[in-house]
């Protein structure tokens, strides 16, 4: 019976108690919530556009610079290194300065940087500029995720899925926007100017609302945190989620950045059809995140992760099983399945961790650094395998399949260690409450035992009266 009671308490810590999910925390007006979520969504539309912009533009960039597409792999390296280097500083800044101020600054840096990309005269000048732009990514990422965690403590899953769905919207539209720029502006590289202009617009909502404040921990929670001997379990949980973020981001960027080239080089699709495949990946990615946001109220991040990963595994395996027989329809199926399955990764990894350990700007900075490394490893691994092995661009599918397969050990380890951590915390709180109650009883009894003579006479009289009644 006691075990069931502890399990119920652990379920409440998960935010899935029968009474409802996460009712505690700061209250913000509907107007404030709408404006902030609008701003965060616009920021992530731009973020998604910028992260996936190399997919449909790497070919015209290579043509402009007179090099092969694989020679632009330093851009992916720059993306990864910049995000790794900026991870810890971004978390430090977000924990100490208003998050909306950080967002405005990072969006303006991105606006200026991307507007200059088409003017770069060499691979190395382009790489240097791209490294500077990518340095700002973690500041956007950390500021938004930390703000959502503060606005919706222990119940940020829905908001995280919604905002990250906008990342998919940006990624979905960028190949189509590049094609539109090719037709109407004469070059797909004009999409960099479009993204730069929209980056400026996305900073506007933050001029009208203050930054959210971190929720205050109760005295009891703070005391428990200071006295807890469960640091090892916390480290296991955080480490497993960090690995999950790495795996999902590496797979996402490997497929998202190379499916355009794969479709053209391995399946001989025209640029327009390859752009459609690229957009299908990000469109399915967005659809999955919208679906995740809708159902997150009734399920857990772990369930979403476990149920979506098989779609990615199937999508990645399809080009390998059907190698030599791939068609336009199968390429679109590959993109759709992989994108849909990948959609729950980052958002629900963060939401999963938040159920067990408070997510600060510093932790979000670590996520950003790890994701930056993954953005470098995933696409660069595809480029190296395509260039130096017989796999050619089928390497995209192998890399995706490997990283998706690693999702399961990371998810299951997080669930097991997190459940143990919450169970131990519930037990510690109950023991603390029992000790406090016993101490309180002792405090009430002590004055009676050491009372005055009048108190003793009153007690004796009461006892005599009780004996007479019997």
Confidence class of residue 439 from pLDDT cuts 50, 70 and 90?
low
pTM of the model: 0.68
Read off the DSSP letter of residue 112: H
pLDDT in tens, 263-275: 888 888 888 888 8
Q: Tell which residue, 313, 287, 304, 297, has the closest CA to residue 352.
A: 304
Mean pLDDT of 426-449: 59
pLDDT, averaged across the chain? 80
Specify the 3-state DSSP secondary structure of 20: strand
Region 16-43: mean pLDDT is 71
The DSSP-derived string for 177-226 is HHHHHHHHTSSGGGHHHHHHHHHHHHTGGGGSSPPP-PPPPPHHHHHHHH
Q: What is the pLDDT of residues 222-233, one digit of tens each?
A: 444 444 557 788
pLDDT tens per residue, range 148-187:
888 887 676 778 778 877 877 887 788 889 889 988 988 8
pLDDT digits (tens, 9 = 90+) for 122-147: 999 999 998 888 888 888 888 898 88
Check residues 410 and 441 and name the one with the higher pLDDT: 410
- Predicted confidence band of residue 434 (pLDDT cuts 50, 70, 90): low
Query: SS3 for 11?
Result: helix
Q: CA 84, CA 374: separation in Å to the nearest integer?
A: 9
- Name the residue with tokens 């999910």: 21
Give me the long-range contacts of 10-18 (CB less than 8 A, separation at least 24): 10/419, 10/422, 10/423, 10/426, 13/355, 13/422, 13/425, 13/426, 14/300, 14/355, 14/422, 15/154, 15/155, 15/355, 16/300
Confidence of residue 462 (pLDDT cuts 50, 70, 90): very low
User: In the predicted model, what is the mean pLDDT of residues 388-410?
Assistant: 92
Grade residue 192 by pLDDT with cuts at 50, 70 and 90.
very high
What are 324-350's pLDDT values in tens digits? 888 889 999 999 999 999 988 887 888
pLDDT (mean) for 417-446: 68
Q: Does 393 have pLDDT greater than 80?
A: yes
Q: How many residues does the chain have?
A: 470
Q: Is the pLDDT of residue 59 over 80?
A: yes
Evaluate whether 199 touches 42 at the Cβ level (below 8 Å). no
Mean pLDDT of 313-329: 89
**Residue 447 confidence (pLDDT):** 44
pLDDT of 441 reads 55
pLDDT of residue 191: 93
- Per the DSSP assignment, residues forming a β-bridge with 20 are 17
Q: Quick one: which H or E segment has residue 326?
A: none
What own/partner pairs with CB < 8 Å and gap ≥ 24 does 33-36 have?
Answer: 33/151, 35/205, 35/208, 35/209, 36/147, 36/151, 36/205, 36/209, 36/212
| Token pair 């459609």 in the structure block, residue | 276
Given this model, what pLDDT does residue 206 score?
Answer: 93
CB atoms within 10 A of CB 323: 12
Angle between the 231-266 and 395-405 helix axes, to the nearest 10 degrees? 160
What is the tens place of the pLDDT at every residue in 406-427? 999 999 999 988 888 888 777 7
DSSP string, 159-175: HHHHHHHHHHHHHHHHH
Looking at residue 298, what is its pLDDT?
82
pLDDT for 468 = 46
H or E segment to which residue 100 belongs: helix 99-116
Are 326 and 267 spatial neighbours (Cβ–Cβ below 8 Å)? Answer: yes
- In terms of DSSP H, where are the helices of 322-406? 328-342, 345-354, 361-388, 395-405
pLDDT (0 to 100) of residue 8: 52
Q: Who's near 218: CB < 8 A, 6+ residues apart?
A: none
The DSSP output letter for 451 is -
Helix (H, G, I), strand (E, B) or coil at 17: strand
């Amino acid at each position: 019976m006691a075990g069931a009671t502890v399990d119920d308490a652990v379920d409440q810590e998960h935010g899935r108690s029968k009474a409802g999910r996460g009712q505690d925390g700061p209250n913000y007006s509907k107007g404030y919530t709408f404006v902030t979520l609008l701003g965060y969504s616009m920021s992530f539309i731009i973020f998604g556009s910028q992260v996936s912009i190399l997919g449909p533009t790497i070919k015209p960039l290579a043509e402009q610079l007179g090099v092969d597409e694989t020679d632009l792999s330093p851009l992916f390296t720059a993306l990864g290194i910049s995000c790794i280097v900026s991870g810890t500083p971004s978390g430090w800044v977000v924990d100490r300065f208003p998050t909306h101020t950080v967002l405005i600054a990072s969006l303006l840096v991105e606006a200026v940087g991307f507007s200059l990309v088409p003017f770069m005269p060499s691979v190395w000048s382009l790489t240097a500029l791209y490294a500077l732009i990518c340095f700002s990514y973690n500041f956007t990422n950390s500021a938004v995720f930390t703000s959502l965690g503060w606005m919706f403590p222990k119940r940020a899953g829905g908001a995280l899925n919604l905002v990250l769905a906008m990342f998919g919207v940006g990624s979905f539209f960028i190949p189509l926007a590049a094609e539109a720029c090719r037709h109407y502006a004469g070059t797909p590289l004009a999409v960099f100017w479009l993204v730069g202009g929209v980056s400026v617009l996305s900073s506007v909502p933050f001029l009208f609302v203050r930054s959210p404040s971190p929720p205050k921990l109760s005295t009891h929670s703070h005391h428990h945190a200071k006295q807890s001997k469960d640091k090892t379990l916390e480290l296991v949980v955080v480490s497993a989620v960090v690995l999950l973020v790495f795996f999902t981001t590496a797979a996402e960027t490997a497929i998202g950045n190379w499916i355009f080239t794969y479709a053209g080089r391995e399946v001989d699709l025209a640029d327009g059809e390859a752009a459609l495949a690229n957009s299908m990946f990000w469109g399915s990615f967005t659809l999955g995140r919208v679906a995740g946001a809708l159902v997150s109220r009734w399920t857990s991040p772990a369930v979403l992760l476990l149920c979506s990963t098989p779609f990615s595994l199937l999508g990645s395996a399809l080009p390998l099983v059907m190698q030599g027989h791939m068609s336009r329809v199968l390429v679109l199926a590959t993109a759709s399945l992989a994108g849909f399955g990948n959609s729950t990764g980052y958002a629900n990894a963060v939401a999963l961790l938040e159920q067990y350990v408070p997510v600060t700007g510093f932790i979000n900075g670590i996520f950003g650094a790890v994701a930056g490394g993954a953005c470098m490893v995933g696409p660069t691994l595809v480029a190296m395998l395509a260039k130096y092995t017989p796999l050619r661009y089928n390497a995209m599918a192998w890399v995706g399949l490997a990283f998706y397969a690693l999702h399961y050990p990371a998810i299951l380890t997080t669930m097991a260690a997190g459940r143990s951590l919450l169970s131990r915390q519930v037990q510690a709180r109950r023991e603390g409450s029992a000790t406090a109650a016993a101490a309180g009883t002792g405090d009430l009894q002590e004055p009676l035992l050491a009372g005055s003579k009048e108190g003793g006479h009153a007690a004796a009289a009461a006892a005599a009266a009780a004996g007479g009644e019997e």
